[in-house]
Amino acid sequence: MIYNRETAVLYGLTYALTPNPAYIYIADNDCTNFISQCLRAGGAQNDYGGSHPWWYSGGSYSVSWSVAETLYWYIRVNSTEGGFGIKADTYYLDNFDAYADKIAGKVELGDIIQYRNTRWRIQHTAIITDFDSVTGEPLLSQHTFNGRNVTWRKPIFVQAIFHHITNINQ
Three-state SS across 84-129? Answer: CCCEEEEEEECCHHHHHHHCCCCCCCCCEEEEECCCCCEEEEEEEE
> How do residues 41-86 score in pLDDT, each as one tens digit?
999 999 998 888 999 999 999 999 999 999 999 999 999 988 789 9
Q: What is the C-alpha separation between 12 and 138, in angstroms, rounded? A: 14
At 52 the pLDDT is 85
Residue 1 has pLDDT above 90, yes or no: no
DSSP state of 2: -
Q: 42, 41, 35, 40: which is closest to 3 by C-alpha? A: 42
CB 114 within 8 A of CB 124: yes
CB 106 within 8 A of CB 91: yes
Q: What is the C-alpha separation between 26 and 34, in angstroms, rounded? A: 9
pTM: 0.97
Please give the radius of gyration of the chain, using alpha carbons only, rounded to the nearest integer: 15
CB 36 within 8 A of CB 65: yes
Which pLDDT band, with edges at 50, 70 and 90, does 129 fall under?
Answer: very high
The fraction of the chain above a pLDDT of 70, given in percent, is: 100
Question: Rounded to 10 degrees, what is the CA torsion of 128, 153, 85, 57?
Answer: -80
Q: What residue ranges define each of the domains in the chain, with the CATH number in brackets?
A: 5-167 (3.90.1720)
Q: What is the rounded average pLDDT of the residues 148-152?
A: 98
